[in-house]
Amino acid sequence: MGRFRAALAAPGLAAIAEFKRRSPSAGAIRADADPARFAGLYTSGGAAAMSVLVDERFDGSLGDLRAARAATDLPLLAKGFFTTREQLLELREAGADAALLILRDLDDAGAERLMAHARELGLDTLVEAHDADELARATRLGADPIGVNARNLSSFRIDRRAQLELVAAAPRDRVVVAESAVHSRAQGAAAELAGAGAILVGTALMRASDPAAKLRQLLSRPLVKVCGLTRQEDVDAAAEAGADLAGFILAEESPRRAAGVLRVPETMLSVAVYVGERGEERADLDQLYGREDGHRGRDASLLRGEREVARVLDLPWESGDPEHLRRAAAAAGRVVLAGRLDAGNVGAAIRSVRPWAVDAASRLESEPGIKDHARVRAFVEAARA
């Protein structure tokens, strides 16, 4: 296992922070950008690795790779359109730890040959797939890590839903990298829940006034969920406040029952909340509680399709538990912490539990199902702090 793959295989969601001055789809992004400066910013921002475009179509060069190598100890991924051993040798001599191989441009024999050359040179390879056929090819070739690109390289169109389904279909024994079009914490989390061990982020960082802060924001946890939403204006207020998840309770007995899953911006994920059995509403995630004595059970499964991706740890129905935070802190896996949270207590709860997400509903309301926008803002701010 090389440095690049090892960095991405560490626990949690990793980020490959990309340096590029332009792209064919976006045009000029940051024409005067200095790779050495960005290498320092990405290192301080928490990147697991750095990607450097060395192709002239992106205003890149091997000189950019050398400058980045001189400025950081991060593993470096060289990105371009590589087809020969000589190109791989140049990348290695310029300081690369890994090279991108795009299956769209390579047949199986060519890809296998380049992967073997890379191993001989001490390079990892990120083998990139754009559709199910290419993912199957990458799997057969033994690629690890595998990159799944949301962008069609012919039309430059982004299809996040198709990308996430490919990520979910990738082998679980490989490191999977979700590439392109990650601009928000929720989009990164969507890739994480689909099975990605890492995200590759470029344009969002290159355009940010503070790239290191933007990177830290994308990777920061916990996520913030505002639940019990029944009105579009409350969804919009939660999004404006910076919430990542919008919850819609669809259990008939709930005073916060929504008519359905409302529109959420692409900076958020929608969550349909059910009791007893799942319904047919379309949402990014489902939250399913068991039913006990005619009301919801204590805890819930957070589901992506049929796969449980997190546990929602809540208080018992209409009662408390002095051991709630201790129980949550001891739980394995991703924890969504719920149970009468608000701006006044969420900070202490986060410090105690270190959850993957926090979830609030009743304490953010002026009346059941009607959110107080000031309380929503205060809750999100306190959770972020």
CB 145 within 8 A of CB 174: yes
Beta strand segments in 111-194, E? 124-129, 146-149, 176-179
Name the pTM for this structure.
Answer: 0.93
The pLDDT tens digits for 164-175 are 999 999 999 999
* Model pLDDT, residue 142: 97
257 DSSP 8-state letter:
B
* Model pLDDT, residue 123: 98
Give dist(CA 220, CA 355) in Å, integer. Answer: 11
Q: Tokens at residue 253, please?
A: 């007995």
User: CB within 8 A of 10, min separation 6: which ones?
Assistant: 48
Flag whether pLDDT at 152 surpasses 70: no
Chain mean pLDDT for the chain: 94
Give dist(CA 380, CA 360) in Å, integer. Answer: 10
Q: At 188, which helix (H) or strand (E)?
A: helix 185-194
The pLDDT tens digits for 324-340 are 999 999 999 999 999 99
* Model pLDDT, residue 162: 86
Q: Where does the pLDDT of residue 31 fall: very low under 50, low under 70, confident under 90, or very high at 90 and above?
A: confident
Q: Tokens at residue 348, please?
A: 């202490």
* Secondary structure tally for the chain: helices H, strands E: 14, 20
Flag whether pLDDT at 58 surpasses 80: yes
**CATH numbers and ranges of domains, the chain:** 3-219 (3.20.20.70), 223-384 (3.20.20.70)
Q: Which of 13-22, 23-32, 99-108, 200-209 has the lowest mean pLDDT?
A: 23-32
* Model pLDDT, residue 154: 61
* Model pLDDT, residue 64: 96
The pLDDT tens digits for 66-121 are 999 999 999 999 999 999 999 999 999 999 999 999 999 999 999 999 999 999 99
Give dist(CA 164, CA 192) in Å, integer. Answer: 9
For the chain, what percent of residues have pLDDT higher than 70? 99
The pLDDT tens digits for 293-317 are 878 889 999 999 999 999 999 999 8
SS3 47: coil
Q: Where does the pLDDT of residue 153 fall: very low under 50, low under 70, confident under 90, or very high at 90 and above?
A: low
Flag whether pLDDT at 244 surpasses 70: yes
CB 321 within 8 A of CB 303: no
> Once rounded to an integer, what is the mean pLDDT over residues 253-266?
94
* Model pLDDT, residue 130: 92
Q: Tokens at residue 94, please?
A: 């310029």
Helix-strand-coil split of the chain, %, nearest 5: 35, 25, 40
* Model pLDDT, residue 293: 80
**Which residue from 115, 143, 113, 118 is spatially nearest to 129, judged by alpha carbons?**
143
Residues in the chain: 385
CB 311 within 8 A of CB 349: no
Q: Where does the pLDDT of residue 270 fall: very low under 50, low under 70, confident under 90, or very high at 90 and above?
A: very high
Q: Where does the pLDDT of residue 160 fall: very low under 50, low under 70, confident under 90, or very high at 90 and above?
A: confident
